[in-house]
Amino acid sequence: MTGPTGLATRKITPDLARGLLLALIAVANAHLYLVDRPIGYRGYPSGLTGADAVIAVVQMVLVDGRVFPLFAALLGYGVARLADRAPEAVVRRRGLVLIGIGALHGVLLFPGDIIGAYGLVILLTAPAVASSTSRGLLAAAGAVGAFAVFLASGASGPQGVPTVPSIAAPTLGAFLAGHPGEWLATTLFSALLTAPAVLVGIVVARSGTLDEPAAHRGRLALWATGGLVAGVALGLPLALAVVGVWSPTGVVGGLVAAAHAAGGYAGALGLLGLMGLLGSVSWPGRGLVAAAGTWSMTLYLSQSVVFVAVFATIAGGLGRTATLTTATLVGLATWFVGVVVAGLLARAGHRGPFELLVRRLTYLGGKSTAL
């Protein structure tokens, strides 16, 4: 067993995928900060028209419900690599550290935090990472995923209220008051939804597909094509509901919500395949985005700082008036600035502050300054 992996020995494709994924996370979260208006399906404002409606449909079939399973798969990849060089106790400690960071993020800034859920999944699956076969992990992923899709069918109607109501809170006290309960509920449900993707990510790591993408272009192309087509097809019915084309109710509404959730897993696999293909060829900016991917947790947390500062009523207040187009552009601009700054710092040999914190706490004084 050894300590953390050094920067020079990292594979570029997983980091590239994390860097690109941060753009999708920014887009996925930005619309949740739109408040003081009727809220429909999946936290989107009701009555979207024009460019806002087009953006909503694109996000629903390519981003919404697809991003966090993809992030979870990359987490599973990292967990498998950690388990290759560290004992189970270290893997469990990594899970506890992520739960702690997620709790702070959720209570202080954004109760829709996903880090705590990933930490919980790591904690619960740590014993199986080294001992289970890939076939067993995929079987478990299928069973848990089917149950998660079934539960998702219950959330079939318009929300009525913002996903993050505290964004509209007029005072700091009111802003913070509801976060603990909201974070806990989100963490438990998100852990269930993302656990299958974490298990699949462990299997992907074992396959070596992301380590040598040029040698697996056929497999990656199959993932990209099949996953994205299935994700779009399964997500389109709910996407059309978001923009008011129809209003599925009853059993039909449940089936539409379940299809969207199932499409999330397929779409995540498709995006992973696409990012793997992008990692197999050279293109301008690839190295910078991959370098920024080594700061993925720091950049994810920094996005919440920016969004609260810009959108929350107690700060910039833009969430009360911004359109979906504006929110999306703010999200993409936040990602772009983060990639440039973090990418340049990473290339200069600097580690992300939260990445350093996680490693120091995980290895308890070991080689925490390495990656």
Q: What percent of the chain has pLDDT over 70?
A: 96
In this structure, is residue 369 part of a structural domain? no
In this structure, is residue 368 part of a structural domain? no
Instruction: Indicate if the pLDDT at residue 258 is higher than 80.
Output: yes
Q: Which of 24-33, 150-159, 183-192 has the lowest mean pLDDT?
A: 150-159
Per-residue pLDDT at 132:
86
Nearest to 165 by CA among 110, 108, 242, 115: 110
In this structure, is residue 222 part of a structural domain? yes
In this structure, is residue 2 part of a structural domain? no
Per-residue pLDDT at 5:
53
Position 7 confidence tier, pLDDT thresholds 50, 70, 90? low
Mean model confidence pLDDT for the chain: 93
In this structure, is residue 241 part of a structural domain? yes
Please give the residue range of the domain that contains residue 183: 7-363
Per-residue pLDDT at 1:
47
| CA dist., res. 166 & res. 230, Å (int) | 35
Please say whether the beta carbons of 142 and 244 come within 8 A.
no
pTM exceeding the 0.95 threshold for the entire prediction: no
Per-residue pLDDT at 157:
86
Residue pLDDT, tens place only, 90-142 = 999 999 999 999 999 999 999 999 999 999 999 998 988 878 899 999 999 99
Position 230 confidence tier, pLDDT thresholds 50, 70, 90? very high
In this structure, is residue 217 part of a structural domain? yes
In this structure, is residue 100 part of a structural domain? yes
Residue pLDDT, tens place only, 301-329 = 999 999 999 999 999 999 999 999 999 99
| CA dist., res. 54 & res. 155, Å (int) | 23
Instruction: Indicate if the pLDDT at residue 8 is higher than 90.
Output: no
Residue type, 207: S
* Number of domains observed in the structure of the chain: 1
In this structure, is residue 371 part of a structural domain? no
